[in-house]
Amino acid sequence: MGSTLVEIPYAFAVGLAFSVVFYPIVGVPSISTGLLYWISVSLFVLVETFLGQFLVYASPTLELATIAGVLINSFFLLFSGFNPPAASIPGVYKWCYYISPHRFVLSVLVALLFGDCSEELTPSTPFMTSDRPIGCHTLENAPLALGEITVKGYIDKVYNFKYEDIWTHFICTLCYIVALRVLALFSLRFLTYQKR
């Protein structure tokens, strides 16, 4: 319990330090969106921290836990829906996309920045002179097969990062945190590598 509680303020402090520097650089002025961005980054730091703790508790050596962590993170990052995009992942590998915790966090972060648009598809004014959200701007140099499409429409169609799914993805991230804590608890209770 103590190893769980001690990580929470640290993760939120690290998430805040990152968000305070990064978020204004992106140029999105909304405080409420910035707050959600910070919480999402902080929850991702917690997922990674608790995954590392679980692997350390479940592995006989630190080296094995490190290698397992690299492999698991590489696997999850590969199937997070960015590269290859979610729409391009073959059907046989879709299950990898659905179980990736990185997918949920990446979807929230991208949707917060680029998916907020309640307007219909209309030609946009130039980016720098418009007060419309980034998601409402027409995507320039889009593939011809897509035609005229907004930034929001593009990330919805190609990457499957939908603004409407933000709260569902927050809940999924919290479920991953709880699941990793339970797995770590079982590892501490039932696994031992001491020789007697």
CA distances (Å), origin 23, targets 47, 50, 69, 86: 21, 25, 28, 25
Task: Flag whether 15 is in a domain.
Answer: yes
Task: Tell me which of 57-66, 91-100, 137-146, 180-189 is least confident.
Answer: 137-146
Q: Which residues form the domain of 172? A: 2-105+164-190
Nearest to 111 by CA among 159, 174, 55: 159
Buried b (16+ CB within 10 A) or exposed e, 14-23: ebeeebeeeb
pTM over 0.85: yes
Task: Flag whether 91 is in a domain.
Answer: yes
Return the higher-pLDDT residue of 193 and 45: 45
Task: Flag whether 112 is in a domain.
Answer: no
Report pLDDT digits (tens) over 58-88.
Answer: 999 999 999 999 999 999 999 998 989 998 9
Cα(78)–Cα(122) distance, integer angstroms: 34
Task: Flag whether 113 is in a domain.
Answer: no
Task: Flag whether 179 is in a domain.
Answer: yes
Average pLDDT over residues 4-16: 93
Query: Which backbone phi and psi does 138 adopt, to 5 degrees?
Result: -75, 130
Task: Flag whether 149 is in a domain.
Answer: no
Other beta carbons within 10 angstroms of residue 140's beta carbon come to: 10
Contact 36, 112 (CB under 8 A): yes
Q: How many structural domains comprise the chain?
A: 1
Task: Flag whether 143 is in a domain.
Answer: no
Average pLDDT over residues 96-102: 94
Which stretch of DSSP H or E encloses residue 14?
helix 7-26
Average model confidence (pLDDT) across the chain: 88
